[in-house]
């Protein structure tokens, strides 16, 4: 075992021990705030209606308003009152630990929660949601002008997420006094798509990213335009990508790491992690293993078809170090080249990426994302083309998957193993727009491990990760 791997294992152990101690402290000190009485029954057909800050505070805190129910915002919510609550420590996160997590649904319906204040210097799992898990869904929501601070697992939307976060965005400041700090989520084990962060990000240790601090899930069609700083494993989109997939993402803010593994898109990409079709343009500075796209690539991890601005990042190389079978493909471009679609070989400028001289300063932007230019906050538009997180997850041996399509036409849902080999076709037929479909995957005959499932329809594609444990 290499010295670098030994160091990383030691870091994980220390992080785990530290987290346990923090959770014990948090369990003794966190008290729920008195909330409102949202109307509704908490089902998909009749969600609880969150109309104001009082209603928001009651989510997941009583036998009536459980952590597994369905909620929906009816308008924008001003959370300014949180700045003086609980001796100025602010809002109590919804689902505050791995033992008390949110598994329900929150539909933002295109609304925002503004002026959210959380300052819990002795607690982890900090964000609007502390911990979301399994079948949890958070969509079409903005958290704006936020001030969020904690220890570990700190994010604008969620401290730690194993669920699905889509069409969400954050603005303000997010900071952690330890590790796993991100603009959208501190830790991602699930799926985050069509999200962005305009937060100023800072962490006092490792795993600090503009969108996510640490990820072994899927991050697609996301971006960050905030500045990011930390000690090591610091990246514009993700600080530490471990097994995870990052695709069609970009970062425009300045990335500052005090020590090693600092990159414009990801600080570290390891353990078969994948980074594809991404770019960075902000200044990148650090100690050792610093690159325009990724700081370090190791253990069969791949970075492919990625680009960086050699003039603005200050980096002549797209990566700092490659070890243990890692691989990199991509090109450094000038500012002028970065503003020409022909420079991005193989990128989809029909349905995924767009380019306009008056948008995003002329750099590529995501056509399907919820904002059309850097620094612009827009209303979130719910999508009808969707692929839900499987439930249960992990599973043994069967699990169910829900999906819907945006346009009438053929839909294909498939399952692949970690090596990209097709394991099963779950659906291959016509599908109607706006209708929810459910399919079942049986893992009988397959080995335990990580699998990916995808949906393709009308030239659109989504993918998610699931885990089978026997």
CATH class of 386-468: mainly beta
Which residues in 373-405 are b (16+ Cβ under 10 Å) and which e?
ebeebeebeebebbbbbbbebebeeebbbbbbb
Residue 262, judged by CB atoms within 10 A of its CB (0-12, 13-18, 19+), counts as buried
CB 385 within 8 A of CB 379: no
Residue 430 pairs in a beta bridge with 410
Output the DSSP codes for 265-327: SEEEEETT-EEEEEEE-S-EE-SSSEESSEEEEETT-EEEEEEEEHHHH--SSSEEEEETT-E
pLDDT number for residue 369: 65
Domain ranges in the chain with CATH number 2.60.40.2550: 386-468
- Cis-peptide into 390, omega within 30 deg: no
Strand order in the sheet with 437-442: 386-387, 398-404, 437-442
Strand runs (DSSP E) across 120-264, as ranges? Answer: 129-132, 137-150, 154-155, 158-161, 164-176, 181-182, 185-188, 191-193, 196-203, 206-209, 212-215, 218-220, 223-224, 228-230, 232-235, 238-242, 245-251, 255-257, 262-263
Using the structure block, give the residue that is written with the tokens 């893992």.
443
CB atoms within 10 A of CB 18: 16
Alpha-carbon gap, residue 265 to 212, rounded angstroms: 11
Q: Which two tokens stand for residue 39?
A: 């109307």
448: how many CB neighbours lie within 10 A of its CB?
13
- Give Dmax over CA atoms of the chain in angstroms: 58
Interatomic CA distance for residues 461 and 218, integer angstroms: 13
* CATH number for the segment(s) 3-366: 2.160.20.110
**What DSSP string runs through 242-271?**
ES-EEEEEEE-S-EEESSS-EESSEEEEET
pLDDT tens for the 470 residues of the chain, in order? 443 444 444 444 444 444 444 443 333 333 344 568 999 999 999 999 999 999 999 999 999 999 999 999 999 999 999 999 999 999 999 998 888 999 999 999 889 999 999 999 899 999 999 999 999 999 999 999 999 999 999 999 999 999 999 999 999 999 999 999 999 999 999 999 999 999 999 999 899 999 999 999 999 999 999 999 999 999 999 999 998 999 999 999 999 999 999 999 999 999 889 999 999 999 999 999 999 999 999 999 999 999 999 999 999 999 999 998 899 999 999 999 999 999 999 999 988 999 988 889 999 999 876 443 333 334 333 346 788 887 787 888 998 888 888 788 899 999 998 877 889 999 999 988 767 788 999 999 899 888 889 999 887 888 888 888 88
Q: In the prediction, which pLDDT does 14 show?
A: 43
Please list the residue range(s) of the chain that carry CATH number 2.160.20.110: 3-366
Under 8 Å CB-to-CB from 429, ≥6 apart: which residues?
410, 411
Instruction: State both tokens at 460.
Output: 């659109």
**Global confidence as pTM:** 0.76
């Amino acid at each position: 075992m290499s010295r670098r791997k030994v160091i990383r294992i030691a870091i994980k152990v220390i992080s785990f021990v530290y987290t346990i101690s923090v959770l014990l402290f948090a369990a003794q000190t966190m008290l729920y705030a008195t909330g409102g009485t949202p109307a509704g029954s908490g089902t998909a057909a009749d969600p609880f209606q969150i109309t104001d800050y009082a209603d928001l505070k009651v989510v997941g805190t009583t036998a009536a308003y459980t952590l597994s129910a369905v909620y929906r915002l009816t308008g924008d919510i001003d959370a300014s009152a949180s700045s003086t609550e609980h001796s100025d420590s602010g809002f109590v996160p919804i689902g505050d630990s791995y033992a008390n997590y949110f598994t329900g649904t929150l539909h933002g319906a295109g609304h925002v929660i503004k002026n959210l204040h959380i300052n819990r210097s002795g607690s982890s799992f900090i964000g609007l949601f502390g911990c979301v898990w399994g079948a949890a869904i958070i969509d079409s929501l903005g958290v704006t002008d936020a001030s969020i601070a904690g220890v570990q697992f700190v994010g604008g939307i969620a401290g730690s997420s194993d669920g699905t976060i889509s069409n969400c965005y954050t603005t303000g400041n997010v900071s952690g006094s330890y590790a796993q700090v991100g603009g959208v989520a501190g830790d991602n084990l699930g799926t985050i798509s069509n999200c962005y962060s305009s937060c100023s990000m800072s962490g006092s240790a490792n795993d600090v990213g503009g969108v996510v601090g640490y990820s072994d899930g899927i991050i697609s069609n996301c971006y960050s335009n905030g500045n990011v700083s930390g000690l090591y494993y610091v990246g514009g989109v993700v600080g530490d990508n471990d097994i995870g997939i990052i695709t069609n993402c970009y970062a425009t803010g300045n990335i500052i790491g005090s020590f090693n593994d600092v990159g414009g898109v990801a600080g570290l990409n390891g353990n078969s992690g994948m980074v594809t079709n991404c770019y960075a343009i902000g200044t990148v500075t650090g100690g050792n293993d610093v690159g325009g796209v990724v700081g370090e690539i190791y253990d069969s991890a791949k970075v492919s078809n990625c680009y960086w601005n050699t003039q603005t990042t200050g980096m002549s190389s797209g990566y700092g170090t490659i070890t243990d079978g890692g691989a990199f493909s991509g090109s450094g471009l000038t500012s002028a080249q970065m503003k020409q679609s022909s420079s991005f070989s193989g990128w989809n400028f029909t349905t995924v990426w767009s380019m306009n001289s008056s948008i995003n300063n002329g750099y590529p932007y995501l056509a399907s994302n919820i904002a059309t230019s850097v620094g612009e906050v827009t209303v979130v538009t719910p999508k009808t083309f969707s692929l839900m997180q499987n439930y249960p997850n992990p599973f043994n041996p069967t699990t169910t998957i829900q999906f819907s399509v945006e346009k009438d036409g053929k839909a294909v849902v498939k399952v692949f193993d970690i090596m990209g080999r097709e394991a099963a076709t779950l659906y291959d037929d016509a599908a109607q727009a706006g209708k929810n479909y459910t399919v079942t995957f049986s893992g009988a005959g397959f080995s335990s491990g990580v699998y990916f499932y995808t949906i393709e329809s009308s030239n659109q594609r989504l993918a998610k990760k699931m885990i089978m444990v026997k």
